[in-house]
Amino acid sequence: MERTTLRRRALVAGTATVAVGALALAGLTGVASAGPAGTTAPPVSADSLSPGLLAAMERDLGLDADDARSRIAAEHRAATVAAGLEKSLGASFAGARVSGEKAVLTVSTTDASEADRITGAGARAEVVGHSLDRLEGVKDALDRAALRTAPKDVPVWYVDVAANRVVVNAASTTAGQAFLKAAGVDGGLVTVARSAEKPRALADIRGGDAYYMNGSGRCSVGFSVTRGTQNGFATAGHCGRVGTTTTGVNQQAQGSFQGSTFPGRDIAWVATNANWTPRPLVNGYGRGDVTVAGSTAAVVGASVCRSGSTTGWHCGTIQQLNTSVTYPEGTISGVTRTSVCAEPGDSGGSYISGSQAQGVTSGGSGNCSSGGTTYFQPINPLLQAYGLTLVTSGGGTPTDPPTDPPTDPPGGTWAAGTAYAAGATVTYGGATYRCLQAHTAQPGWTPDVVPALWQRV
C-alpha cells in the first residue's frame, strides 16, 4: 500500500477538494414571568449559574454572587418583556435597553399612545422620533456599501437605541461622510463620531484545527509554541516552505512558515501575528479539548490519539519508534509508527498521549474507513531544532528536567531512570502514586510535582 503525506490541497476554481500526492431571565428557580404576548419564560435555576461566571461578574462588574444572580434574573425578565412588546408595538417599536444594577427596562416607541401599553408591561416608556425598522434600514444600506467596497478608516457602525440614531465611528469626519455618501443614506439619521478604534479578528491557536497555505492547501495545527516573545505553532514540513503564508481556521490572516524541513525530516513551525493567542489545547472534535501539560515521549505499545482537520479525533497505539519511511517525495527518518488512521488534510496535526504532546502528523497509508498506519514526527526534536518552547497548562514543558532537582529526595520506591508502565504504583515522600502514562522517570520529575504523569492514591 502506498505511503503518502497527509496534506489536503483545495481546487481553487471549484468546490471539490482532492489529495495531491497526499494524505498533504424570568428569574431564579421557582420564578417565572409572562411577557405581554402571554408567553412564559422558563425559570433560570440558581444551580445552572456557573461559579466561574459569578466570579467573573464579581471581578468585572463589582457584584457579589447574590447581586449577580438577581441581575441575571432581572435581565432575563427584561428580555422576555421586550420581546413581547416588540411584537405588540409593531412598526412603532424603537428598541429596548436595560440600565443600572437592577437592570431597569426602557422600551422606546414612536407612538405616544403606546406608552401605557409599555408601562403596563412593567417597563419605562420613552417616545422617540425614529422607529427601529427605519434606523436598521439605514444600517443595512451601510452594510451593503461595505460589502461592495470596505470603507477606509471606518471601523464600526451600529444602531444606538439610547440615542435613537445610527452611529458611524470613523478616524475622521471626512472618512465618515465619504462612507455615508457611498452608501447613499440619509445623514440626518446618522452621527459620525471620531474614533481611534482598530478592531481585529481574534482567535486561538489550538492543536488539530485547520489552517490554509497560500490559499491553495490545508493542513492541521500541531501544537502551540513560542520562540522568545513570538507566538506560533509546530506542524509538518511538507505543508509549506519558509515564507509560505497561512490563514487560520477562520480564514483570517495568520502567519508564515519560519522553518521547514522535508524530506529527511518532516518538521516546521509557523510564526503567527498578534491576532492569534497560543493555547495549551488540542481540539477533541466533540469530545472536549484536551489540555497539553508537557511532552514526555510515550513508549512502544502506549495509547496515542490524533487530532486533525479532516477526520477529527482518532486513537490507536504506538507501534515502533525511530522509523524511516519513504514517500514519493523522499525518505524521512526518526518518525514514530502508529495504528492511528488519518486522511488528507490531517497533516501537521497533534498526536497526544494522555496530556503529553507526542508529535505532528506526517503521513501514512489507508484511511479512517478501512483503517491504516500513520507516522508522526516527534515533537521534542522539532522543538529543539527550531529553539521553540511548547505552550503547556503549567506555562512550561517538562521536556527538560528541572535545573535544580532535589539533592536529598524523600524516601520511597520511585527512582529516576526507571521505566514505568501506566498503572504502576510507587511510593514517594510517604504517599502512594499511580502512573497515568508510560514514561521513563527523569531526575526532578518526582510524582509530587508532575501530576500529568502521577496520581496520588
Interacting residues of 104 by C-beta distance below 8 A, sequence separation 6+:
98, 124
Q: Which residues of 231-248 are buried (b: 16+ CB within 10 A; e: fewer)?
A: bbbbbbbbbbeeebebbb
- Annotated active-site residue 439? The verdict is no
Amino acid at residue number 183 = A
H-helix or E-strand containing 336?
Answer: strand 330-338
- Active-site pick, 76, 220, 266, 295: 266
Distance CA 8, CA 370 (A): 19
Distance CA 271, CA 230 (A): 7
Distance CA 250, CA 276 (A): 11
Number of Cβ atoms within 10 Å of the Cβ of 320: 11
Residue 8, all three cell numbers:
489536503
- Annotated active-site residue 347? The verdict is yes
Distance CA 435, CA 380 (A): 21
- Active-site pick, 238, 260, 346, 362: 238
Pairing of β 371-378 and β 356-367: antiparallel
In the chain, the N- to C-terminal Cα span, in Å, equals 46
- Annotated active-site residue 47? The verdict is no
On whether the CB atoms of residues 272 and 233 are closer than 8 A, the answer is: yes
- Active-site pick, 295, 347, 350, 353: 347
Distance CA 432, CA 413 (A): 9
Smallest Cα–Cα separation from 281: which of 259, 307, 261? 307
Distance CA 107, CA 123 (A): 6
Residue 14 vs residues 9, 18, 239, 302: alpha-carbon distances, Å: 12, 11, 21, 42
Put the strands of the sheet holding 431-435 in their side by side order.
425-428, 431-435, 454-456
The Cβ-side half-sphere exposure at 37, using a 13 Å CA radius, reads 15
On whether the CB atoms of residues 240 and 247 are closer than 8 A, the answer is: no
Catalytic residue set: 238, 266, 347
